[in-house]
Amino acid sequence: MAILTTAWQMVKEEGWQSLSIRRIAEAIEYSAPVIYDHFENKEAILAEFVNEGFRYCQKNQAGKGKAHRSAKTAQGNSRCLLGFGLKQKEYYQLMYGVGMACCVGESQADDKTSFVNLIMILLSRRCEK
């Protein structure tokens, strides 16, 4: 679907904050009402990407085979999730609200962002070894 393909391209190039119905419509030369025929609002497009992200996770976890299924520890699951975050940054940001506006206060959002950034740095260093 041109709407989702264009929206994803915008996100990859400019980030989630750049996404709007108006900008998508302009990019694919549709009017905004045409997009509203397919999606109720921007949040519906975001929800589709969240679902796509979880489908991607499930598909890749299933492909890991027996070794992955036996990793039932919190540490193993955390590594898997953070590895996904490094490989699929845009999905991860949307799925877990990283670096995005949400319903928590500013100070809480700053703490969450700082913590996630620290984890990403530590994981990156570990992956480089």
- What letter represents residue 71's amino acid? A
Tell me the whole-structure pTM to 2 decimals.
0.66
Mean pLDDT of 48-60: 82
State both tokens at 109.
């959002």
Q: What string of DSSP letters covers 30-61? A: --HHHHHHH-SSHHHHHHHHHHHHHHHHHHHH
State both tokens at 100.
């995005």
Say what the pLDDT of residue 106 is: 46
What gap in Å lies between CA 37 and CA 16, rounded to an integer? 22
87-127 tens-digit pLDDT: 888 888 888 887 666 544 444 455 556 666 666 666 666 55
56-87 tens-digit pLDDT: 877 766 555 444 444 455 566 667 777 788 88
